[in-house]
């Protein structure tokens, strides 16, 4: 593995991890913008803009964009989160230059009014689709409740009314401010020629103008509020808890990741044995989400309405046990093995490696090899995890629940 980096005069950052033994290559544009960077007037614009980039440029129509990717056999897509919008493709090495050139062009889209007006309906359909998925809806609502007053609580999708009110001019203004070269990272992983891709980006992007970009930072412990929504159309109770976490920049994030695995992994966790194995809940999970300057743990449960009270009592007992006795060496060893297996398997493919490579640079401005992350995970001790439990008190949380109606 060879790590390479370069910064253009306009602030655009280029990074790459060259793996000559790989049989594929991947490229991604990481734009440091998401829903937390939006004002209420443009709620949902980051995700909407992600869609619009595939509508083409002054030279290419949407059909021609799709054909250009299809002709290379690329596996390509994009995603938007609270903090980032990422555009990526994985291809055979001989097509990487062509796909990199295509992404460079797409990063300066046409943003045509007719495409904007048509895509509004697609976005509103997507919002409606996710509202029909209770697991997504309850977590979205819980995030807004947990981060009340903090920009991390902004909805990625926005609302139907907000999308209706959004204008193409507002989108173009947002694009001009946030899609600046000094707010972006271009990353490559796998089998590729570093000098070749750098030359492509220098030719295609050096003329982009930098902008003043900012983001509201600051840790947020959460509102610790509780809300419930009656949804008569549902048959199950859906419960989301959000707990104070750690920022992506905190070196203890590996301990936080292992704690979430011990408490809420799909198999063999405390949630699993106490809730799923005993048929109290159909689903019980905890995950850790490290963010820019802050972070959260989030737990999700799906159960019958009659079991909701028991789920809450059991979860309370799990948190009491953590506060009283912490975790064990056996639990930590199992969590490390699960985490290390998932990490190594994902990073064996250039596409899987690309995401970790890009986000390490976005959040830390550092290169971390797979071996570095493996070493950091192995170094976590029981004392590290238990100190984290004492500091963060996971038994203190924000809760949002929804179901068909209250039960005794």
pLDDT in tens, 67-88: 999 999 999 999 999 999 999 9
Whether the predicted pLDDT of 103 surpasses 80: yes
Q: How far is CA 395 from CA 51, 142, 222, 224, 242, in A?
A: 39, 16, 13, 10, 10
Q: How far is CA 369 from CA 261, 304, 358, in A?
A: 22, 44, 12
Please report, for the domain that includes residue 382, its CATH number.
3.30.830.10
Question: Averaged over 288-304, what is the pLDDT?
Answer: 97
CA distance 316 to 155: 29
Give the pLDDT confidence of 41-51 residue by residue, as tens digits: 999 999 999 99
Mean pLDDT, all residues of the chain: 96
Same domain, 261 and 186: no
Whether the predicted pLDDT of 384 surpasses 90: yes
Same domain, 310 and 353: yes
Residue 217 covered by a domain = no
Question: Averaged over 391-402, what is the pLDDT?
Answer: 97
Residue 219 covered by a domain = no
Q: How many domains does the chain have?
A: 2
Segments forming the whole domain that contains residue 232:
226-403
Same domain, 230 and 148: no
Give the pLDDT confidence of 355-371 residue by residue, as tens digits: 999 999 999 999 999 99
Q: How confident is the model at residue 408 (pLDDT cuts 50, 70, 90)?
A: very low
Same domain, 233 and 193: no
Same domain, 127 and 87: yes
Give percent above pLDDT 70 in the chain: 99
Q: Model-level pTM? A: 0.95
Residue 109 in tokens: 């889209």
Residue 221 covered by a domain = no
Give percent above pLDDT 90 in the chain: 97
Residue 214 covered by a domain = no
CA distance 20 to 30: 23
CA distance 163 to 80: 16
Task: Indicate the residue among 205, 240, 274 that finishes a domain.
Answer: 205
Same domain, 191 and 80: yes
Same domain, 313 and 367: yes
Whether the predicted pLDDT of 383 surpasses 60: yes
pLDDT for 406: 62
Q: How confident is the model at residue 149 (pLDDT cuts 50, 70, 90)?
A: confident
For 333, counting Cβ atoms within 10 Å of its Cβ (0-12 exposed, 13-18 middle, 19+ buried), the class is exposed
Same domain, 199 and 321: no
Would you call 76 helix, strand, or coil by DSSP? Answer: strand
Question: Averaged over 16-44, what is the pLDDT?
Answer: 97
Same domain, 386 and 277: yes
**Distant-in-sequence, close-in-space partners of 114: CB < 8 Å, separation ≥ 6:** none
């Amino acid at each position: 593995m060879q790590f390479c980096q370069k910064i253009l005069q306009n602030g655009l950052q280029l990074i790459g991890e060259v793996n000559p033994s790989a049989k594929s290559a991947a490229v991604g544009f990481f734009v440091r913008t998401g829903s937390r960077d939006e004002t209420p007037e443009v709620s949902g614009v980051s995700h909407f803009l992600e869609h619009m980039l595939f509508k083409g440029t002054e030279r290419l129509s949407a059909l021609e964009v799709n054909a250009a990717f299809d002709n290379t056999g690329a596996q390509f897509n994009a995603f938007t989160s609270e903090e980032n919008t990422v555009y990526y493709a994985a291809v055979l090495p001989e097509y990487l230059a062509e796909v990199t050139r295509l992404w460079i062009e797409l990063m300066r889209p046409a943003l045509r009014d007719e495409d904007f007006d048509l895509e509004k309906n697609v976005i509103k359909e997507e919002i409606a689709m996710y509202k029909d998925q209770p697991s997504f809806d309850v977590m979205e609502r819980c995030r807004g409740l947990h981060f009340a007053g903090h920009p991390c609580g902004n909805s990625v999708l926005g609302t139907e009314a907000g999308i209706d009110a959004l204008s193409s001019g507002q989108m173009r203004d947002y694009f001009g401010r946030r899609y600046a070269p000094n707010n972006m990272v271009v990353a490559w992983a796998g089998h590729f020629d570093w000098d070749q891709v750098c030359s492509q980006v220098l030719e295609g992007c050096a003329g982009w103008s930098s902008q003043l970009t900012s983001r509201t930072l600051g840790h947020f412990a959460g509102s610790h509020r509780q809300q419930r929504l009656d949804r008569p159309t549902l048959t199950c109770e859906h419960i989301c808890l959000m707990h104070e976490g750690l920022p992506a920049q905190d070196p203890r994030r590996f301990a936080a990741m292992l704690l979430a695995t011990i408490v809420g992994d799909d198999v063999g966790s405390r949630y699993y044995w106490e809730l799923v194995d005993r048929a109290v809940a159909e689903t019980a999970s905890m995950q850790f989400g490290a963010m820019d300057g802050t972070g959260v743990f989030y737990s999700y449960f799906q159960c019958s309405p009659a079991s909701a009270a028991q789920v809450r009592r059991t979860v309370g007992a799990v948190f009491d046990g953590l506060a009283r006795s912490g975790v064990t060496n056996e639990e930590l060893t199992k969590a490390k093995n699960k985490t290390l297996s998932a990490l190594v398997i994902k990073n064996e493919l250039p596409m899987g490696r690309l995401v970790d490579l890009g986000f390490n640079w976005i959040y830390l401005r550092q290169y971390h090899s797979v071996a570095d992350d493996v070493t950091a995970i192995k170094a976590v001790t029981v004392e590290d995890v238990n100190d984290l439990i004492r500091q963060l008190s996971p038994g203190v949380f924000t809760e949002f629940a929804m179901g068909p109606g209250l039960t005794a």
